[in-house]
Amino acid sequence: MKKIALIAAVALALPFAALAQDAAKPAAKTTAKKAPAKHQVTRRAAKAVEEVTPVNTDTDVTLNDADLAVAQRVSTGRAQCELGADVTVTPDEKKPGFFTVTTKGLKYRMHPVESRTGAIRLEDPRAGAMWLQLGNKSMLMNQKAGLRIADECQTAAQVAFAEEMKKNPPKSLFEGADPAKK
């Protein structure tokens, strides 16, 4: 019985003895070296570099007939956007179905992607950008950052379509769903 009590006392005291030894050791000094300061690039310098840097036209994307059909419906030219911004969509003459989309010093190499909703959608998978074109407006988004780069963009054709929608609004999805009142 005495042996069991002695073993139990040693087993309980052992962890406390280990803690006491760790506390007695002085803490080792850590010498953290400062990382060399990174050179910050100004926005103006980055914009100047971006404007003269050609867009990488080498892509591994191959377009099928459906993509080329969507490319025929892309509205090209300059689109005025909200807050005074503008976006220019230019078709690539060397590679049908590909487009260069530029705004505020940013350039994207885009190609059509099939959309379930029927909207025209161009994507630059390398940069994570997407140009979404509806009948009455378009928008440019950066999917990686989760930001809208340009919103409420309209070409002349889209302005005319928006005016037509105001004059003759489309039928509501729920129009006629309510039972007739008696």
Domain count, the chain: 1
The one-letter amino acid code at 124 reads D
Query: Smallest Cα–Cα separation from 90: which of 117, 41, 114, 57?
Result: 57
Q: What are phi and psi of 83, to 5 degrees?
A: 60, 25
Residue 55 lies in a domain: no
Where the chain has pLDDT below 70, the residues are: 6, 10, 13-39, 41, 43-60, 176-182
Q: What is the CATH number of the domain that holds 78?
A: 2.40.128.50
Residue 178 lies in a domain: no
Report the pLDDT value the prediction gives residue 59, as an integer from 0 to 100.
61
Residue 101 lies in a domain: yes
**CA geometry: angle at 93 spanning 90 and 99, to 5°?**
35
Report the pLDDT value the prediction gives residue 36, as an integer from 0 to 100.
58
Residue 58 lies in a domain: no
- Domain enclosing residue 73, as ranges: 63-167
pLDDT in tens, 103-140: 988 899 999 988 888 889 999 988 899 999 998 899 99
Residue 47 lies in a domain: no
